[in-house]
Chain A
Amino acid sequence: MFDDTMWAFGRASGIVDLVLLTVAVLGGILTRSGRPLPGIPRFALSLAHRNVSMLAVVFLVLHVATLLLDPYAKLTIADVVVPFAGAEKPFWLGLGTVAFDLLVAVVATALLQRAIGTKAFRAVHWLTYAMWPVAVLHSVFDGTDGTDAWFVVGTVLATAAVLAAVAWRLSHGFLETQSLRGPDRLRAPQRPDAELRRVS
C-alpha cells in the first residue's frame, strides 16, 4: 500500500514538474523579452518565473525522493547524480538524471548570480534549452504514462508552445528595446576634424 502510494506520487510529481518546467521556460523567455503582459507588469513576471522555477525544483526533489523510497523503481542515490548507470532502462532514466543535474546547475547559478556575476549566470542559464527537451524525453520514454493519449497530447501542446517561444526568441525584434535602439540609432557620427569649418 505504502509502495503504491509512493509510486503514484512519484508519477504525479514528475508530471507536475514537467508542467512547471514548461511554464518556467515560457516565463523565462517572456521575461527576457523585457515585455510585460496585459495587466501583469515586468517585475511580477520576473518574480513568477523565479517562483515557478523554485517550485519546479521542489517537485523534482519530491519526484526523485519518492522514487528512491519506492522499491519498484530500484533507484539508487548514484542514479540520481550519475546518468546512464541505472539498472532499468538506463538510457531513459539517465536522461532524467541529466535533466536533474542541469536544473540544479541552472537554479544554483541563478541563486548565486550576485556572487558569480551576470556573465557566468547567463552562460549556464542557456543550458535550460537542453534541460527541457531532455526532461520531456525522459518523461515520455521512462514514464508510466508516457504513451497514454492524454499525456501525448499534453506533451505535443507543450512542445509546440516551447518551440513557438524559441522561434520568437530567435526572431528579430524579440527584445522590447530593440526597436527603440535600432541599428540606425547606433550609427555614431564620424569624428570631425578638430579644425572647424570656415563658413565664408
Chain B
Amino acid sequence: MTVEAMVEPESGAIGVDRLLAAGPDARWAQHATRFGALDAAAAAPTLLAELEASGLGGRGGAGFAAWRKLAATLEAGRRPGARPVVIANGSEGEPLSHKDATLLRHAPHLVIDGLLAAAAAVGASDAYLYAAEPGLEAVRAAAAERADAARIRFVAAPDAFIAGQATAVVNAIENGVALPRDHTRRLSESGLRGRPTLLHNVETLAQLALVARYGAAWFRAVGTADDPGTRLVTIAGDVALPQVLEVAGGTRIAEVLRAAGADTSRLAAVLVGGYHGAWLPADALDAPLSPAGLAPFGAHPGAGVLLALDRTRCGVEATAGIVSYLAAQSARQCGPCRFGLPALAETWNRLAYASHDSGLAARAWELTDTVDGRGACAHPDGTARMVRSAQRVFADDLRLHAHGGCARAAR
C-alpha cells in the first residue's frame, strides 16, 4: 500500500482534529489563523512542568513519557561547555506507518513549533529535522515561510526499517550513515557528537507544540486519564479505507478499525504497533488503544499502527512474511541479529508453507529467545516481541500447520 492509496485524513465519527486542525496541506496562513504563532522563548520556562502534567507519551514507538527525555537533556545541558541539540525524528521506516508522513505534509508548522519550543526549553543551539521524502520537502517548504525556522537543518532519512532507530538517526546526521551504533549512555547525556541530545518523534513534538500553547489541562481534556490527548493512527490491512486518523487517547481498537471501514466481526487478529508490535486476538479488540489497555496483551500502541487481518488470511503466513521482511532489514552489524533473524525467518516460512515437522515450533521459540536483547538497536527485541505474540495468538493455527493443515483455508 502506498501513501497515495490512503484516504486523506478527515475527522470521522471518532476523529478528533487537533494536530490536523489547520486543515489539509496547511501553509503558514492556515496555521497562523488556526493556532497563532508560538513564542518558543516565552513558553520555555514552564514547558517542562506543563509537559509532565500533560502526561504526553512519546509517539515514536517506545512510548516513554515525553517530559523525561526533556528533563534529562536539560540536566545534562547544565554541564559546563555542553551544547544541547534537539532532533525531530520523522523517518518512519515502518512500511505500514504513514502517520509521520501525513503529519509532515499537513501540519509541518506544528512540527516546527514543537522543535523550536523544545530547543528553547533545553537551551539547544542546534535543531535538526530528520525525515524521508516527501515529508522532508514539505517541512523545508514550511520552514521557508517563517523567519524563526532558519536555523533548523534538514537531513534526509533513507527508506530503511532501522533508519529511525535513535542511534541510527544520530549517526545519519553525524556521519551520513543511518546505521544504529553501539552505546552505553543515553542520547540525552551523550548523543550527536557527544552533546546532550533530545530526540523526539515528529508527532511528539507537534503534540508538545500544543501543550506549549494551551497547557496541560487543555491537553488532558481529550482522551483518558492514563492516555491523555490524541494520537495519530495508521490503519492498514483488511479495512475498506486504509487511512491515517487522529483519535482520542484510550479509544477502543474496534472503534478505530470501524472508522476505517473494517468489519471487525470478520477479523482474525490485529497487529498493533507495527512490525515490532504485537498481535492482538479478535476477542481483544475492545481493548483501548493505550499503553495501559494493551499491556495485558503484551502490546503497546507503539507508533500507532493497526494492521487488520481478515479471518480468510493465515496469521502464520502473515507472521512469516513479516519476519522475513524484518530479517532482510537487519543492518547485519550484530552477529545474533545478522544470523538469528534469517534463521528465524526460515523457520517461520517452513512453519507457514512447508512442512509437517513438529520440531519447528520449538526451534522458533528457541531462536526467538536467542536473538532477544542481543543487538546494538532494538531490532532483534522488537522482532522477538512480535513473534512471541504470534506464538500466543496463532497457537491453534501453528498446531494445525505442524500437521500440514491450515485453519484459514477451511473457513
Contact = CB atoms under 8 A, between A and B. Distances in A.
Q: Do chains A and B directly touch (beta carbons under 8 Å) in the complex?
A: yes
Dominant SS among interface residues on chain A:
loop
B120 interface: no
Given A196-B237, A196-B309, A199-B406, A185 B96 contact: no
Interface stretch (A5-13, A14-22, A187-195): A187-195
A77 interface: no
B167 interface: no
Given A181-B339, A195-B1, A199-B409, A189 B324 contact: yes
B26 to A, nearest CB: 29
A181 B334 CA distance: 13
Interface in A163-199: 181, 185-199
A192 B353 CA distance: 14
B345 interface: yes
B312 interface: yes
Contacts of B310: 198
Given A188-B327, A188-B345, A191-B329, 13 more contacts: A186-B339, A189-B342, A192-B324, A194-B1, A194-B325, A196-B317, A197-B313, A199-B312, A199-B313, A199-B317, A199-B409, A200-B408, A200-B411
Of the listed residues B321, B322, B327, B328, the one surrounded by the most CB atoms of chain A closer than 10 A to its CB is B321
Nearest to A180: B339
B290 interface: no
Contacts of B338: 186
B346 to A, nearest CB: 7
B321 A197 contact: yes
Contacts of A189: 324, 327-328, 342, 345-346, 349
A18 B309 CA distance: 71
Contact of A194 (B96, B343, B411): B96
B325 A192 contact: yes
Contacts of A187: 342
Interface in B380-411: 406, 408-409, 411
B337 to A, nearest CB: 11
User: What bracket does the count of chain B residues touching chain A fall in?
Assistant: 20 to 34
B330 interface: yes
Interface in B332-355: 338-339, 342-343, 345-346, 349
A97 to B, nearest CB: 41
Contacts of B314: 197, 199
Contacts of A197: 313-314, 317, 321
A196 B328 contact: no
Interface in A92-116: none
Contacts of B342: 185-189
Nearest to A195: B1
A187 B327 CA distance: 10
B274 to A, nearest CB: 11
A43 to B, nearest CB: 19
Contacts of B96: 194
Interface in B159-189: none
Interface in B287-316: 309-310, 312-314
Of the listed residues A181, A190, A197, the one surrounded by the most CB atoms of chain B closer than 10 A to its CB is A197
A191 B325 contact: yes
A187 B349 CA distance: 13
B324 A198 contact: no
B330 A194 contact: no
A184 B119 CA distance: 49
B324 A185 contact: no
13 contacts: A186-B342, A189-B324, A190-B324, A192-B321, A192-B322, A192-B325, A194-B325, A196-B317, A198-B310, A199-B312, A199-B408, A199-B409, A200-B411
A186 B345 CA distance: 12
B36 interface: no
B318 interface: yes
A185 B346 CA distance: 9
Contact of B318 (A190, A196, A200): A196
B12 interface: no
Contacts of A186: 338-339, 342
B282 to A, nearest CB: 16
A184 to B, nearest CB: 10
Nearest to B345: A189
Interface string A108-152: 000000000000000000000000000000000000000000000
A191 B313 contact: no
A197 B312 CA distance: 10
Contacts of A193: 321
Contacts of B330: 188
A181 B335 CA distance: 10
Nearest to B330: A188
B343 A185 contact: yes
Of the listed residues A187, A188, A189, A195, the one surrounded by the most CB atoms of chain B closer than 10 A to its CB is A189
